[in-house]
Structure 1
């Protein structure tokens, strides 16, 4: 079994929990995932099966979320799963003030990842250090937020804001919630998060764990084809002799003026793998389907 599963991760499951469950359901050991989701987040978690695990590094990095930010509250984890640091009603906060602050969070911005995150400092993950009581701040990192759209606003003592956020890989939505609250001088934390898109997979055609179980019981489950998630990459088609040489690890000269990473196919449109083009030479990077 080779390909991808577009899984809708349930609440309070880790990404590792999902991989373990898929392994058990499929009775298949070679399973991996792209783009870790926090346990409190739900939504798209791309799962790779079999040889497709070697394709995870080539998936597109852009992601999209629907997030709820609660103002007036700060927590240790920058979401509602952590201990409350401060809680101060802020009924005076207006949507107009939020709209004024939001543009600063679009484009290339600097973030400090949450203290409870998988970022490594000196070889140790921040959440492990935080649980040990160590106070360690991750270095700033530059991320890209492509778009922020306001979906809903609910006023009150602790107002809540629903946002749709499109961003690049490595962006922490919890950090946006925290920093937006800080910019408004009233504090903020992430109250809910759904990932609606990741690595080219969308929530609308994702499968929940129960839906996957039903399909497996009915014998109707079919993995997403390995190259379906790689459509953002250019493609090359090789003649039979060249395809055989390439699958054997040989480098091939090209007449096309191309560079970078590309999908490689044979004349029968069979996906052969991933190649890198350097100075018009096609170099095998990952041979997915050797020619027999």
Structure 2
């Protein structure tokens, strides 16, 4: 029987940020590869992973935007989760095997408030075995799959805000709805397990949704399903410019002569105050040139876009329906 040939897609330069509402069941990389294929993009990356169990805000970076994706790793995150009480699992979520079942005591509002206060602020977390954190060059989940548990040092994270409300999950089992704003590196599964342990009955997550990361909100996101249904020009119109990854950067605009020299890596002098994070733009036309920092009146380049990338971004902005030149052909995923 002859196999059906796989579709081939012409890759092309695509620059920008897609705010994706990641669906349930896909890894972050699977979602990224699907979006990359739909956009026919040459280069793509994400700004931090979400578990397959989790849904919600996942910023995807394409082309020139990948140069600034690392800046978003430190962003605070906001999640909503459902913690089923009385049942603990091997993974801390519904994908794991049941380890223990215990009766759920009557929980008063005062007890819930005491637990909330205990887990607000700077707290220590022991990373879960089912995580991508590495030990001796090997991901912890690889040890877990082999039935090996390794020692993990506690990590300090910050819970900026925490709300806990008694509820029932989809199976009418006793549960707690968790709303949390936290620092990078926070494991919500671990937070749920610790809250369950503090209540004396244990628990595991049955739902996890990221509703915000840094300045990006779930209301700004597009789903893979809706992206696939769009005509191609509309897919590209869904992209935001790379500078959305630089919301806390001071903006500096250079004239054409200084812009050209800055793009070649040269420092520029001006009456700028010292600044650790600067987004540099050219003024004719206005376009992001890269990032820099200012020290003693000198604008010092950090990460630069190439002149070709800038040209492609400007062309896409003025003629979004005109396809960019394909550089090579690649088999689809």
SS of aligned partner of 2:234: coil
Q: In 2, Cα distance between the equivalents of 1:240 and 1:151?
A: 56
Q: Taking structure 1 as reference, are residues 206 and 157 closer, same or farther at Cα in structure 2, changes over 3 Å only?
A: closer
Runs of 4+ with deviation above 4 angstroms: 155-158
Q: 1:178 to 1:159 in 2, by over 3 A?
A: same
Change (3 A) 1:259 1:125: same
The alpha carbon displacement at 1:253 in A equals 3.2
User: In the alignment, is residue 225 of structure 1 matched against residue 241 of structure 2?
Assistant: yes
TM-score by length of 2: 0.82
Which of these two proteins has the greater Rg computed from alpha carbons?
A: 2
Q: Is it true that 1:287 corresponds to 2:304 in the alignment?
A: yes
Q: Show the counterpart of 1:252.
A: 268
Secondary structure of 1:166's counterpart equals strand
- Deviation per CA, 1:219-274: give whole Å up to 9, x if none: 31211111123212221122322211110011223422222121111223311111
Question: In 1, are the aligned partners of 2:124 and 2:155 still within 8 Å (CA)?
Answer: yes
Total equivalences in the alignment: 291
Q: Which moved more, 1:238-247 or 1:273-282?
A: 273-282
1:204 to 204, 210, 219: 219
Tell me the distance in 1 between the aligned counterparts of 2:111 and 2:182.
23
Quick one: distance in 2 between partners of 1:192 and 1:184? 19
Secondary structure of the corresponding residue to residue 149 of structure 2: coil
Alpha-carbon distance in 2 for matches of 1:137, 1:99: 32
Aligned with 2:222: secondary structure? coil
CA contact (8 A) 1:143 1:169 kept: yes
| Structure-2 separation of matches of 1:273 and 1:256 | 17
Residues 237 and 112 (structure 1), Cα distance of their counterparts in 2 relative to 1, 3 Å cut:
same
The one of 154, 169, 173 equivalent to 1:140 is 154
| Contact 2:274 2:293 (8 Å CA) reproduced | no
Cα contact 1:91–1:158 (8 A) shared by 2: no
* More deviation, 153-162/237-246: 153-162
